[in-house]
Structure 1
Amino acid sequence: MIDALDETLRQLLIREIPIKNGEVDIAFDQPKREWSARLNRPTLNLFLFDLHENKKLRQTQPMWAIERQPNGTATKRRKETRYDLYYLVTAWATEPDDEHRLLSRSLVALMRQPHLPEELMPEALAGQPLPVPIMVAQEEHFRNQADLWGAMDNEWRPGIPLVITISLDPYQPVTTPLVRTRELSLGPVADPATERLAEANQPDRFWTIGGTVHAEGNLDEIEVKLLEKGQIVSLHPEGRFAIGNLKAGDYTLQVSVKGRKPRQHKITVPAADYDIKV
């Protein structure tokens, strides 16, 4: 992930400054004294000095994003965690004028981009749920310059604080069948340890069923009614519905579409499928 972000920033600076024929090196090293002493050409260095989770952007509810598929399955994905990566951009050259010129061009190039360009992002960064923001030269992002340069045993020089916020999902998506029927049994318990119902007394069984109304038109113009109970069935997004507190047996769902004659659909509880095509 981090190496892919490094390469994206490299390509962004090469394109936007622009850097032609490799006249300026772009590095991602610790700016130690030994490192800077070995430089023999103008160099832009992007030092990653910190990273941590952006807790302000954390989404804990709901924890899972659920995508229902037409084939009767649902894919569950854990909500991504967003991380801030902190870079310090510094310019290194023989003359201060060259350093300032390179630093100013870098600042302008980065300020022109509110987000990382998607066309420069490699496959490892593909599929980000939101545009990847770039925050440039914000004072609160780098307050302890003296400590950093002291740790690097190098001379203090101006730098551009740069913060990139990316999403990371360390979990694999889970695909499972949709629950079509749920059974609730009520009765006396034969074994309290296992909570198993007594077989001598037939328990009361109630069913909750779920299905989908498949329609090409506007769902707001469709009404579904369970005739045996005179109950209007609520339709959720994508035409999904659920009906509870049913006994086993046959039922009739009446589907009314605005401007058309109502149609009746027979269902049996329990069953493997309760979908309706309009």
Structure 2
Amino acid sequence: MIHEVDEALRVLLVEAGLQESGVDLVFDAPTSDWSARRNAPTVSIFLYGIREDATRRRTGTTEEYDGDGVVTGRRTPPRWFELTYLLTAWTNRPQDEHRLLSEVLRRVIHTDALPARTLTGSLATLGLTVEMEAASAGSGDRPSTVDVWSALGGELKAAIDLRVWAPLAGELTPVGPPVTEGLLVRTAPGRDGEAAEPGRRLRYDGASDAEGQGFAAERERQLPPGRRRRGGPTR
């Protein structure tokens, strides 16, 4: 899921025309060693925070079906995670960096959710809205930009804080094949060594007989006293 969000963000910035203007889009950590090796205008999309959004956690399962409408498995609900990115621009002059960062900000600030066309893999399969928020006010339970730069060992510079809320698909538990044959009932051995009957199979309509002795009984279910069928009189 994380790499799928990375790809969606990359496509979003490519559509803004950054790569066409000769700008590199990378996901490297902007450390001092990295910046010294950089030799072209670059936008760094650095992921530095991953945590679950517990307010969206759900329980239960949903059934999955094949093309014939048969249940093939049961899947737990997706878990939602908040991914936090640090977007920075790198050029040889601060003025050019600010101009480049402005183009990035223009693109992400007007996007409340990653467009469906940018989603791949499990994000596309789930079909859920992947929300994002850029340059929002920081909360007390998240590391500040200063703390991030300090951990990276670099000098503080202008950056855009970007948050994305993405679902991680739940676990799928396969189920057994559908029942097509009923219970086979055999009698006890006969007296004086006589052979038992071959047996009869309680089955669903259309199932094969057991040695020609099967039967399919369509019986009306008897309701308890005082209960009535939907649309019918009380029995």
The answer to whether TM tops 0.5 is yes
Which AA in structure 1 matches 2:151?
A
For structure 1, the 5+ residue unaligned runs are 180-224, 235-254, 257-261, 263-278
Q: Which moved more, 1:140-149 or 1:114-123?
A: 140-149
1:13 touches 1:106 (CA, 8 Å); kept in 2? yes
Compared CA separation, residues 156 and 73, structure 1 to 2 (3 A): closer
Please give the root-mean-square deviation of Cα atoms over the aligned residues, in Å: 2.8
Deviation digits for residues 186-241 of structure 1 (CA, Å, limit 9, x no counterpart): xxxxxxxxxxxxxxxxxxxxxxxxxxxxxxxxxxxxxxx9676563235xxxxxxx
Which structure is richer in relative contact order (CA contacts within 8 A, separation 6 or more)?
Answer: 2
Give the 3-state SS of the residue equivalent to 1:37 in structure 2: helix
Residue 86 of structure 1: how far off its partner (Å):
0.7
Name the residue aligned to 1:152.
152
| Equivalences for residues 232-243 of structure 1 within 5 A | 232-233=228-229
Name the residue aligned to 2:103.
105
Name the residue aligned to 2:22.
23
The yes-or-no answer on 1:65 pairing with 2:62 is: yes
Q: Which moved more, 1:79-88 or 1:117-126?
A: 117-126
Which of the residues 116, 119, 139 maps onto 1:118?
116
Residue 91 of structure 1: how far off its partner (Å):
0.7
Identical-residue share of aligned pairs (%):
31
C-alpha distance in structure 2 between counterparts of 1:21 and 1:101, whole Å: 16
| Equivalences for residues 251-262 of structure 1 within 5 A | none
The yes-or-no answer on 1:33 pairing with 2:32 is: yes
C-alpha distance in structure 2 between counterparts of 1:71 and 1:144, whole Å: 50
| Equivalences for residues 40-189 of structure 1 within 5 A | 40-60=39-59, 63-66=60-63, 73=71, 75-140=73-138, 143-176=143-176
Name the residue aligned to 1:191.
none
Name the structure where strand makes up a greater proportion of residues.
1
Compared CA separation, residues 92 and 65, structure 1 to 2 (3 A): same
For structure 2, the 5+ residue unaligned runs are 180-219
C-alpha distance in structure 1 between counterparts of 2:100 and 2:128, whole Å: 31
Compared CA separation, residues 55 and 39, structure 1 to 2 (3 A): same
2:63 touches 2:71 (CA, 8 Å); kept in 1? no
